Amino acid sequence: MALRWYTVVVDSLDAQAQARWWAEVLDWQLIHDTPEECVVIPKHVDEHPPPDLESWLRAGQGLVFVAVPEKKTVKNRLHIDLAPHTSQDRDAEIQRLLDMGATTADVGQGDDVSWTVLRDPEGNEFCVLSSRDL
């Protein structure tokens, strides 16, 4: 038997704004868009993947943003790690995120780490790792 990691669900005050923000960050496509729930997936992933198990298991994960009434109040227990390719300018990518509304975050990571912690527009922490080719 096989299970597929299908999505990560993110509680949001404004699910539509969060979904659009993350779709732009990741260059993904928005495939479901209502005030209550929005779904973004990689552009190379078909919204309706083939029905065979092998292809279905290889399909990429999505992000689902659901509207909730409460604000985020504590540090995330789960977060997204983003990584630029070695051919990309990591500092320019971080600046792009900051220009889009991300903010820097101190979660106790210290000055000697190889990643940068940021927050999305609703305060959810995520990291930009060092450049890599895998």
- Residue spans in the chain of domains classed CATH 3.30.720: 7-67
DSSP string, the chain: ------EEEEEESSHHHHHHHHHHHHTEEEEEE-SSEEEEEETTS-SS--SSHHHHHHSPPEEEEEE-SSPP-S--SS-EEE--BTTS-HHHHHHHHHHTT-EE--SS--SS-S-EEEE-TT--EEEE---B--
User: How large a percentage of the chain has pLDDT more than 70?
Assistant: 99
Name the residue with higher pLDDT: 116 or 54: 116
Name the residue with higher pLDDT: 9 or 44: 9
Spatial contact of 109 and 121, defined as CB atoms under 8 Å apart: no
Q: What is the pTM assigned to this prediction?
A: 0.92
Which structure tokens are listed for 32? 């479901």
Spatial contact of 30 and 23, defined as CB atoms under 8 Å apart: yes
The Cα–Cα gap between 64 and 10 comes to: 6
pLDDT digits (tens, 9 = 90+) for 77-104: 999 999 999 999 999 999 999 999 999 9
Whether the pLDDT of residue 58 is over 90: the answer is: no
Question: What integer pLDDT is reported at residue 1 of this predicted model?
Answer: 60
Q: What is the mean pLDDT of the chain?
A: 93
Average pLDDT of span 34-43? 96
Q: Which CATH architecture has domain 7-67?
A: 2-Layer Sandwich (3.30)
Name the residue with higher pLDDT: 53 or 124: 124
Spatial contact of 118 and 126, defined as CB atoms under 8 Å apart: yes
Whether the pLDDT of residue 30 is over 80: the answer is: yes
Other beta carbons less than 10 A from residue 14's beta carbon: 15
